[in-house]
Amino acid sequence: MEGKSMLKLSHVLAFLLLASLFQSLMARDLSDGIEVLQLPEENEGEFVFCPGKQSWPELVGKPAGYAKQIIQRENSIVHDVRLLFPGMPQPGNYVCGRVFLVVDFKLIVQITPHMG
């Protein structure tokens, strides 16, 4: 009987030790360095993840350098403008502040640039 009660006591102590470790892990502030998923906002009747202008159809046919300047001027959260040539795969993940410019070999925008 004494052996079973010692085993139960050791289980209880192990549980309390694990529970105290778990509580300290849960109490940490995890906001540093972790990207938090944001809920979409409504912008002109459309739900978007990023504030500001989302696409620039007026830049089709314009030089890539000029398009980059206009995009960064019209939406201050844009920090990454990437060039893609026709046929190159575009990443499937959505990143707020990233815009793809699909250009031809003369660096003329071919498709409407959009956030993502």
pLDDT at 34: 54
For the chain, what is the domain count?
Answer: 1
Q: For a pLDDT cut of 70, what percent of the chain falls above it?
A: 71
**106: domain CATH number?**
3.30.10.10
For the stretch 61-89, pLDDT in tens is 999 999 999 999 999 899 899 999 988 88
Range of the domain at 70: 52-115
Most confident of 36-45, 48-57, 68-77: 68-77
12 lies in some domain: no
Cβ(99)–Cβ(82) below 8 Å: yes
How many angstroms from the chain centroid is the CA of residue 45?
22
37 lies in some domain: no
For the stretch 83-106, pLDDT in tens is 999 888 888 888 888 999 999 999
Q: What is the pTM of this model?
A: 0.58
Nearest 5°: phi and psi at 74?
A: -85, -20
31 lies in some domain: no
